[in-house]
A and B are shown apart, each in its own frame.
Chain A
Amino acid sequence: MNAIMAGPKINSPANVPHATWLPANPATALPGVRRNSWLRLQGREGVLFLLGIVLIWQFVSSSIHFAGAYLFPSPTLTLKALWISLPDLLKGTGSSFMVLAPGYALAVVVGIVWGLLVGTTPWMSRMFSPFARFASPVPPTIYIPYAIALLPTFRSAACFVVFVGAFWPVFLNTTTGTASLPQRYRDNARILGLKRTEYLWRIVFPASLPHIFSGMSVGLVFSFIMLTVAELFGASAGLGRFVQLNADYADYPRMVAGILYIGVVVLVTMELLERIKRRALFWVK
């Protein structure tokens, strides 16, 4: 009985700090501990990881000989291939963006406008939501063969599937934004007696921008997926086409170079969107 009253025996003294692995704020955690200060590694983990991958890649491709080793071109070989095919890749980038840009831009405009309308109009929401619930989860890649068959040119078909891929994330996030509109903005808009269009454009749209931008990020990723998959199917130019063509001719250094190049293009485009987002959302803490 007495033992129970005393509670469980605590081995460690109470004043030993615990859970030091979990800092209060992840942003401020970095400068505190300096275990590897002699190598100054901290803060450079990302570069080191990439370097590690390249080293392993180099090791695997140069020192191990097995059947099918030609499928693993070494980093130097790939870099050389990248250099040689840079003009082709740049031309392909132009061609790809001629598909991506209109499809994505249209998806953003239509997704936002339609999302704002559906999100703020009860009857439109009742009308469109059942359809959205059915259509939005369909993997958009599945439309590609039909779009190619249906539409007159490959470009229009690819534009269409890029549009479909980007539309749903933008639209759904916009409606989420309108649904989570804080009461205080509604109150203020009503006090000012704003007209419906003013309310949508000057209040609901900016207030929903944080959600809209996350929809645009997801939509952009989807756009690239749709674009490259569509180009694998039947393009005569473009980044996806470049990879497919070199795979067909078993030119794996060029193919891998193409994949890496696409990665960089996506990264740069996403970064561009991120900058636009930061500028537009300057008022969000």
Chain B
Amino acid sequence: MIMNALDTRSTNSIHGSGLRVEDLHFAYNGTSVLHDINLTITEGEFVCLLGPSGCGKTTLLRLLAGLETFSSGSLFWNGQAITGPSLERGVVFQDYSLFPWMSLVNNIALALAKSHPETGKKWRLNLAEEFLEMVGLADAARKHPFELSGGMQQRGAIARTLALGSPVLLMDEPFGALDPVNRAKLQDLVLAVWSNANPKKTVVFVTHDIEEAIYLSDRIVMLGSSPGRVIEELSVPFPRPRTRRTLTNSPGFQTFQEQIAERFRQDTLQSIEAESAVCGDAEGI
């Protein structure tokens, strides 16, 4: 009942299936925020956008969501150009994905009203409770967001994207404000949601936490700052299902983590050197 057969595989055009980002540029007030982004994310893939603050990773996610308009380039989901927000791409924001004046169950029911417009209100409320049960919020259905902890609010936000039935999940540092324990629990919830869905959901997960990116994703897209651009794409070589213990104990984990950190250090150094070169020129005038 929940997963309506959405056979998107038949619409393969020249832009292929999955998310495609081609020659994407985004400038804000004349400043280049994202520069020449090219990315392919296949259907069912879990990809992390990893980068320091200010690298434009949130902007890239908002562009994928259709919440911002890019300056040039193109964006496709399953061969169709992304021109605005759509139910196909659900978003979980860092906080405040839920409306504070609605109870949890009403927040979910509102999403259901959009994804299942021909249904009755009672049916939607029942289904909303089912979704809340799936994320471990069965007892909090009648509560309002302000009565819930940050972790519970994010559970609610995840339940809402499930209710939307979006094949693509866009998550913008969703656990950035949580304590380590809740963070770990929510990471496992996202992994469960991702791997249990049939067909698998495509997840784009923004984070600045290297360990989180390794634990969650199939592939890590590293973004450098000013302007934001892709500096490296890495496949995560560790087999699934992963647990934190086996992952951190597995050979190569430390090296992989260090490799990523080193790549970011290099990029920072490069941009500092580039800046001082420009300043040096200016002093000569």
Contact = CB atoms under 8 A, between A and B. Distances in A.
Q: Are these two chains actual partners, yes or no?
A: yes
B144 A283 contact: yes
Interface in A180-233: 182, 184-185, 187-188, 190-194, 202-203, 206-207, 209
A187 B84 CA distance: 11
Given A192-B164, A193-B86, A193-B87, A187 B93 contact: yes
Interface in A141-198: 182, 184-185, 187-188, 190-194
B85 A193 contact: yes
Interface in B74-96: 84-87, 89-91, 93, 96
Contacts of A190: 66-67, 84-85
A192 B93 contact: no
Contacts of A202: 99, 102, 110
Interface string A248-285: 00000000000000000000000000000000001111
Contacts of A188: 93, 96-99
Contacts, number: 50
A256 B96 CA distance: 53
Interface string B47-70: 000000000000000000111000
Contacts of A184: 93, 96-97
A283 B101 contact: yes
Contacts of A185: 99
A191 B90 contact: yes
A192 B96 contact: no
A182 B110 CA distance: 19
Most central of A188, A190, A191, A282 by chain B CB within 10 Å: A191
B176 interface: no
Nearest to A202: B110
Contact of A187 (B67, B102, B144): B67
A180 to B, nearest CB: 15
Interface in B175-199: none
Contact of A191 (B91, B144, B145): B91
Given A191-B65, A192-B114, A206 B101 contact: yes
Interface string A81-103: 00000000000000000000000
22 contacts: A182-B96, A184-B93, A184-B96, A185-B99, A187-B91, A188-B96, A188-B98, A190-B66, A190-B67, A190-B84, A191-B67, A191-B85, A191-B91, A191-B164, A192-B87, A192-B164, A193-B86, A202-B99, A202-B102, A206-B101, A283-B100, A283-B101
Given A187-B93, A192-B87, A192-B110, 20 more contacts: A184-B96, A184-B97, A185-B99, A187-B91, A190-B67, A190-B85, A191-B90, A192-B111, A192-B164, A193-B85, A193-B87, A193-B114, A202-B99, A202-B102, A203-B99, A206-B101, A209-B101, A283-B100, A284-B100, A285-B146
Interface of B: 65-67, 84-87, 89-91, 93, 96-102, 110-111, 114, 144-146, 164
